[in-house]
Amino acid sequence: MATQIDNSFRTFSFASAISANTLVYVSGANAAAAVVTASEAIGVLQEDAAASDVGDVKLFHPTQFGLVSPGPVTAGNNVFATTGGVIVGTLVTSALTLGVALQSGATGEVIEYAPKL
């Protein structure tokens, strides 16, 4: 089960070197990278990070949790709210984009996601 992070910071690993104060997006489970598209940004790296290093990211919004149904949801992909109070990893009719999944999950699992700007 996911652990709630009450403050607005989260640690991510970086595959390549990245400078402090760079906008980042979720690139996989516990991984982030410099944004390619501004709409994918979830926060700002707080210090320089070398390749294969970890760094603290100040998130734009505190993270949230949601019940996956049906699954699966993949880390780094958008999650959507649907009727019944659950989240899905695929856009469906009348769904609302909530944010990006910080972890992967199957049907019935609770996952953490970061709301986007």
Give me the chain's average pLDDT, please.
Answer: 90
- pLDDT given for residue 116 in this prediction: 80
Provide the residue type at 46 as one letter: Q
| Mean pLDDT for the stretch of residues 37-44 | 90
CA atoms lying within 13 Å on the CB side of residue 109: 17
| Mean pLDDT for the stretch of residues 46-70 | 94
d(CA 81, CA 68): 10
**Residues contacting 42, CB < 8 A, separation 6+:** 24, 25, 26, 32, 57, 59, 60, 99, 100, 114, 116
- pLDDT given for residue 65 in this prediction: 93
* Confidence band for 32, pLDDT divided at 50, 70 and 90: very high
| Contact yes or no for 94/52 (Cβ under 8 A) | no
pLDDT score of 62 more than 60: yes
